[in-house]
Chains A and B, each alone.
Chain A
Amino acid sequence: MAYSDKVIDHYENPRNVGSLDKSDDNVGTGIVGAPACGDVMKLQIRVEDGVITDAKFKTYGCGSAIASSSLVTEWVKGMKVEDAMEIQNSQIAEELSLPPVKIHCSVLAEDAIKAAIRDYQSRQAAEPADEEGAR
């Protein structure tokens, strides 16, 4: 399988590998899996004032899956939560020049960031609104 230079770059020098404290209410955690290949991906975001200030991932899978999640963590830092929710797998696949057989890796990364945002939002909804009283 010929990987694009960008995939190889992210695979060899993955950005933002690691974990955030998942019990922190400002942290959203998304864990997704690709049933067809058995890859698993954990993507976490830290949100302050509606902006993603940090993102970490751990992906156990092929080079394209690692590159897709690495790229997403790079993209979302500094993004508003609602803008990050708009990320489409096609943008990831295009940026990394993923071949058709690896498109599902970009789908996994899109699912992971969306799952992380939803987890963050549900934590905020469950939390009494004493921290962000303005809204």
Chain B
Amino acid sequence: MAVASPSPSESVADHFARFGLAPRYAIDRDALESEYLRRAAQTHPDRFVGRPSGEQRAAMEAAAAINEGYRILRDPVQRAEYLCKLAGIDLDSSDPRGGAPHMSQAFLVEMIERREKVESARAEGASALQALRDQVEGEADETLDEAADALDDDDPNGAARLLVKRRYLQRLLDEIDGEH
């Protein structure tokens, strides 16, 4: 579907600026919430009925950007990953330059071994699997905390490595939960 380019004020602004927040990991969630509601009401399509189509489209694009920004900022993992993106590291990209950093061979070997352990824990029974799950989940949470610290220390590269590690741990959790 062809769409006109979004108005620069909405597309160029980063999501933190969009909600009047400083680009930091720690945010005021109440401020995010109330600003989201205010902006969402401002750009609601109902307000633009009968307006020129250009205005309607701009409002729609603004509303989409606000929704996307809210979805990203309210989620701690996505917020941390977004801060890396603002620093020029796109964790959704596999590009060696500017993409998600590659992990060490030792880490990948460990990940394979741990996933193999999921199979044996599953065979052992529900409590073994739950114990493994709790351990991995704790580790994933800890890794996110470390990434947040790195972001606070203005170390986006360190944060990106930790967030990639967390993604592997997340996939390990998905494996335990039987999701792909």
- B153-180 CB contact bits vs A (8 Å, 1 = yes)? 0000000000010011111100100001
Q: A38-B167, A38-B168 are in contact. Are A33 and B94 (CB under 8 A)?
A: no
Residue of A31, A36, A60, A104 touching B91 (CB-CB under 8 A)? A36
Interface of B is mostly: helix
Is the pair B170, A35 in contact by a Cβ cutoff of 8 Å?
no
Which A residues touch B102, using CB under 8 A? 33, 35
Closest-CB distance, B55 to chain A (whole angstroms) = 34
**B interface size (C-beta, 8 A):** 26
Is the pair B94, A58 in contact by a Cβ cutoff of 8 Å?
no
Is the pair A61, B94 in contact by a Cβ cutoff of 8 Å?
no
Q: A31-B105, A31-B109, A62-B180 are in contact. Are A36 and B92 (CB under 8 A)?
A: yes
Is the pair A63, B180 in contact by a Cβ cutoff of 8 Å?
yes
Q: A38-B168, A63-B180 are in contact. Are A33 and B108 (CB under 8 A)?
A: yes
Is the pair A40, B94 in contact by a Cβ cutoff of 8 Å?
no
B69 located at the interface, meaning its Cβ lies under 8 Å from any Cβ of chain A in the complex: no
Is the pair B171, A37 in contact by a Cβ cutoff of 8 Å?
yes
Closest-CB distance, B13 to chain A (whole angstroms) = 25
Which of B23-31, B37-45, B111-119, B141-149 lines the interface with chain A?
B111-119
A116 located at the interface, meaning its Cβ lies under 8 Å from any Cβ of chain B in the complex: no
A56 located at the interface, meaning its Cβ lies under 8 Å from any Cβ of chain B in the complex: no
- Given contact pairs A36-B93, A40-B168, enumerate 17 new A-B contacts (beta carbons under 8 Å): A33-B107, A33-B111, A35-B91, A35-B164, A35-B167, A36-B91, A36-B100, A37-B171, A38-B167, A38-B169, A38-B172, A40-B108, A40-B115, A60-B111, A60-B112, A60-B175, A63-B180
B interface residues, Cβ below 8 angstroms from A: 91-94, 99-103, 105, 107-109, 111-112, 115-116, 164, 167-172, 175, 180
A interface residues, Cβ below 8 angstroms from B: 31-40, 42, 58, 60-63, 104, 107
